[in-house]
Structure 1
Amino acid sequence: MKKVNLWLNWRLICGLVVILIMRNTAEGAVSKYSIVLSASEKFIGSLSTEQKVMAVVAYNQANAVKWTNLPCGLQCRVGILLGSLSASQKSLAKNVAKAALGASIGAGYDQVMGIMEADAFLGKGRKEYSSDNYIIAFLGMPDRAGKWQLQIGGHHLAVNLTFNEGRQVSASPLFMGLEPPENTTLKGNHDALVDVLKSLTDGQLAKARLVEGYGDVFVGPGKDGAFPVIKAGIKASELSSQQKSKVLKAILQWVHIADDSTAKELMKVYNIDLNDTFVAFYGGVDLNKKSDYVRIDGPDVWIEFICQPGAVFPQGIHYHTIYRDHLRDYDSSFQFGSTRQ
């Protein structure tokens, strides 16, 4: 009888622990959202009527998908240019980004700021590059009940965060790029993928190797929903537990763009999907030469990383990378066609 009682008490304690963890996670998400909402309201409140028309636009598919990696300012994006803001307004805009993005060191907010700093460096020699040419946009008015999207974008950057009913619900699509690669902003992403590839045996590399390469990421700007129908590479079910851990660690480098609670929820899904996730690559495993490419493609997660010829420094390379989710881009608010297998 004592053993039965002990067992029942243990089950009760475990159940209470799970409930407390779930409650704390939910409360944390709500608390985090309050900070995002407050920062957004302060920024929008600082804008003139004309500026608000630029910064707050309709939440619809046409506006949601209007993003790119090109240095074309407002010609190819919605939103308001950071360069058109006063110093105090810029500070408030950064507060929005800091509140909404992941807080992990070297990821999330840090990466967004690093990419903008890299563009400011490029702008010393080319006027089309500048941190002032980045935008912030609110698709829909931020509130506690409705759905809205935050865009932060510019050359080599497209952040798309979707919020609904008082919490962050999607962190994709995400495009990031970097030149020169000596800037360490994407080092964590690069090194995590190299770690995955270098852990593979010769036989596994042969299975993972793609026959043809790409000029850029395959499902980039304007390619919403255009995932390959047939998955390529080696299936993670064929990998060791240590190799699988490296794949998850690599995925996390991109998922950290989201706030902590959203990132945890996404990683739970990607962990469940892991055995049905594929790793593929083209070129070398060091990812340091033109056309070197790697892809992680699961039932849900999609990540690409490619080394392209340098644009400003043509003798070198620069990085392009994208994170998508087969089902959760834009929180599944729009229809593009699904290739989920």
Structure 2
Amino acid sequence: MRMFKAGATRPANKPLRRGFIGNSTFALGAILLGCTEPVDSSLASAQPDTVVTTATPAALANGRTVLERARAFAAALSDKQRSDLLRPYSLANASRWHTYPQWGMGRRGRIGLRLETLSPSQWQHLDALLAAATGSGKGQGYEELQQHLNADDFLRQIGKDQRYGRGDFYVAFLGEPSDTGLWQLQFGGHHFALSNTYREGILIGATPSFRGIEPVFPFEFNGVMHAPQKPAMDAFRALLASLDNGQRESARIHGKFSDVVMGPGRDWSFPANSEGIAAAVLSDQQRDLLLAVIAAYVHDVDDANAALFMARYQSELAQTRVSFAGSPSLSRTGDYVRIDGPSLWIELVMDSPYNFSQPHPHGIWRDKHTDYGGTRS
């Protein structure tokens, strides 16, 4: 879907125990981020409760840090702010993310605490929480998140619309942060969605994770240059450029794409058939380029859990496919690329120009087992 016009109105390291999310029973380790051993190929399309794994000490430590900082942030709020922040855990609430600014969403807007209400000290607590929940790499994770906030402030600063800006972003805790229960850290706004689900103090899902950006070109804000989506787009372009003519024809899919397929409201509806070229027939160098694309999304998660995700996706790489439509340069409206594996789903599409003359990217990372921590209803 394309953006609306400015000013328009639009409506301890041990095996994990069994538990419940919604109406489904699952083995908690099954929907954890990955495993220390490769996943048996016979389990590639199985439901999460057939896969058993454990969390690493580093991932457990990160869960404790996130919990401590979540509690500290909540304690720093007023009663009214805390009431806005804390919401019940449900799929209906967890799926309240989008690509649009809040002011363009009408009654289907985000839930939670609007960031314009935060004091400087409350912002410090939120930043500490977000830093713990996201990756530490250059241009990824926490640094990328800050660049996204700066991008929206930049749109406001140059007069695109005064309703843009980090004040229009929201944070919510779905369920009370706990080391025994289930809760989700939800953070998002224009072109950004973070959905980290925790169970028994462990991250059990970090998707859906949406990233878009406008402007697509590097921009200066407060004396610093920013280019939030450049690492991901460069990685995609390098992968597609590596394909020879025959591989490119095998990877090409037909049809027109106005946005990502698995966008907001498309939960648990992954296409049944994979398309494109299988990673199994790519060269070692090309598979490294493919892993670089995957890492550009996965490393938005905290470092310990990103390593677990990457281990699982790498173990499934032979069954993963790459496809694209339009131009491999990813420079024209409708240019599209997809990575589709037994667990992994990543898409990027060039959306129509809106605030500037160039099309801009919309990108989504989903997981066929761990979206919303495995919650399906």
What letter corresponds to residue 317 of structure 1 in structure 2? P
**What's the CA shift for 1:33?**
2.0
Cα distance per residue 1:262-320 (max 9 Å; x no partner): 1111111111111111100111111112111110011110001111122111x211110
What secondary structure, in the 3-state scheme, does the structure 1 residue paired with 2:153 have? helix
Partner of 1:157: 192
Partner of 2:307: 264
Partner of 1:30: 60
Kindly indicate whether residue 311 of structure 2 is the aligned counterpart of residue 281 of structure 1: no
Kindly indicate whether residue 354 of structure 2 is the aligned counterpart of residue 324 of structure 1: no
Partner of 2:279: 236
**What's the CA shift for 1:34?**
2.3
Partner of 2:145: 112
Alignment of 1:99-248 (within 5 A): 99-124=132-157, 125=159, 126-183=161-218, 184-248=227-291
Kindly indicate whether residue 102 of structure 2 is the aligned counterpart of residue 72 of structure 1: yes
What letter corresponds to residue 67 of structure 1 in structure 2? W
What letter corresponds to residue 102 of structure 1 in structure 2? G
**What's the CA shift for 1:333?**
2.0
Aligned 8 A contact 2:335 2:349 in 1: yes
Cα distance per residue 1:90-145 (max 9 Å; x no partner): 12111111111111111111111111111111112212311110011111111111
Q: CA RMSD in A?
A: 1.7
What letter corresponds to residue 327 of structure 2 in structure 1? G
**What's the CA shift for 1:49?**
1.4
Matches of 2:198 and 2:374 in 1, distance apart? 12
Aligned 8 A contact 1:171 1:257 in 2: no
Kindly indicate whether residue 119 of structure 2 is the aligned counterpart of residue 86 of structure 1: yes
TM-score normalised per structure 2: 0.80
Aligned equivalent of 1:56, options 86, 90, 97 = 86
Partner of 2:40: none
Q: Which structure has greater helix proportion?
A: 1
Aligned 8 A contact 1:170 1:262 in 2: no
Tell me which of the two structures has the higher relative contact order, counting C-alpha pairs closer than 8 angstroms and 6 or more residues apart.
2
Matches of 1:203 and 1:264 in 2, distance apart? 33
Which runs of 5 or more residues in structure 2 are unaligned? 1-35, 37-54, 219-226
**What's the CA shift for 1:245?**
1.4
Partner of 1:291: 334
Which runs of 5 or more residues in structure 1 are unaligned? 1-17, 19-24, 336-341
What letter corresponds to residue 170 of structure 1 in structure 2? G
What secondary structure, in the 3-state scheme, does the structure 1 residue paired with 2:247 have? helix
Aligned residue pairs, count: 313
Matches of 1:209 and 1:32 in 2, distance apart? 40
Partner of 1:3: none
What secondary structure, in the 3-state scheme, does the structure 1 residue paired with 2:228 have? helix
Cα distance per residue 1:244-275 (max 9 Å; x no partner): 11111110110112111211111111111111
Partner of 1:95: 128
TM-score normalised per structure 1: 0.88
Aligned 8 A contact 1:232 1:279 in 2: yes
What letter corresponds to residue 363 of structure 2 in structure 1? T
Matches of 2:261 and 2:228 in 1, distance apart? 22
